[in-house]
Amino acid sequence: MAKTRVVVVDDSALVRSLLSEIINRQPDMECVGAAADPLVAREMIRNLDPDVITLDVEMPRMDGIDFLSKLMRLRPMPVVMVSTLTERGADVTMRALELGAVDFVAKPKIGVANGMRQLSEDITDKIRVAAKAQVRRASTPLPSVTATNTALPSRPALPTPIGRLSTEKIVFIGASTGGTEATKEVLMNLPPDAPAVVITQHMPAGFTTSYSKRLDGLCRIRVKEATDGERVLPGHAYIAPGGLHLSVERSGANYIARVRDGDPVNRHKPSVEVLFLSAARVVGPNAVGIMLTGMGGDGARAMREMRDAGSFNVCQDEASCVVFGMPREAINHGAANEVLPLQQIAPRVIEHLRSTAGVSLNRV
């Protein structure tokens, strides 16, 4: 079997050496080149034709975002970003995912050598996923991110209000690889009177704050990181904080968010399984489940439990997924009522909610 060929692009000689070592220890991949800046990397890509690139966010001569923007327009290929655990690094990483990067690795700020080695399984898993991901050519040049320019795209046309919506309804979204952009597509097309949306996106601590703030500036509903014990309200979306599990509980007449530490579930924290199990248990037929792009099977069984409890479930189709793993597993478990292209999910959910508006199916 042919090995996955990887080019490492990072201005740190230590990180280049560590990544090369981690990659070359894997029987199914090899580091075929390591470049200190994007201009050198450009020639390596031409000459070596790698399958995947790992790309540092901030480098001299040309930063990683400018390079990624040009690469995705001229020669689209799978890219895994290597980002620092800082607010600036998180903001730029979100921009990289918008430009078409498949995923990212959070580079430790201190203890880099030990930290990178501890992340070796995560790094190589992301490279394997990236090698199989569907990568799309960027259609137009996009501005780079600076400390004062976050280059937010414009909102789509205002969706028609749902009207007369029961406050019992909640939309649950699960996503992983490629999910930051897929979730954005869904949320940006929900009207201000949409029901509460609760989201588990596989993402490490330190990045969900930037992600939620970015979405809050784009969407007509409010978007925030979930905090433990807060009410889950219509017109709001709540994102599981990186490194913590999110679920929904009942408190009298209200739904509340539960944010908890704990062991990983299906190797993930936050886990879609945890969120979707709470949807089946607490919300039942008032729930709408959405499974978006991602690797693996996290949440598939719980989504079937949601359907058995009466929820309406939609899975993203293969053609529009970056990675079809999570939706495919949910479909195979019989969890999906419908399978749709990404762009059709929000309109279909609105249609479903409108058809059931004012109908309360409280199971308490």
- The helix (H) or strand (E) run that includes residue 5 is strand 4-9
Contact yes or no for 221/197 (Cβ under 8 A) = yes
The torsion angle over the Cα atoms of residues 206, 210, 215 and 221, rounded to 10 degrees, is: 80
Q: Give me the DSSP letters along 45-58.
A: HHHH--SEEEEESS
Choose, from 10, 20, 83, 202, the residue flagged as catalytic. 202
Choose, from 20, 69, 176, 311, the residue flagged as catalytic. 176
Question: What is the SS3 assignment for 241?
Answer: coil
Length of the chain: 364
First to last CA, the chain: 55
* Cα distance between residue 171 and residue 194, in whole Å: 9
Choose, from 298, 311, 320, 352, the residue flagged as catalytic. 298
Q: Active site includes 202?
A: yes
Q: Active site includes 125?
A: no
Alpha helices in the chain, H assignment, sequence order = 13-24, 38-48, 64-74, 87-99, 112-118, 120-132, 179-188, 208-216, 272-278, 300-308, 325-332, 342-355
Q: Active site includes 176?
A: yes
| Catalytic annotation, residues | 176, 202, 298
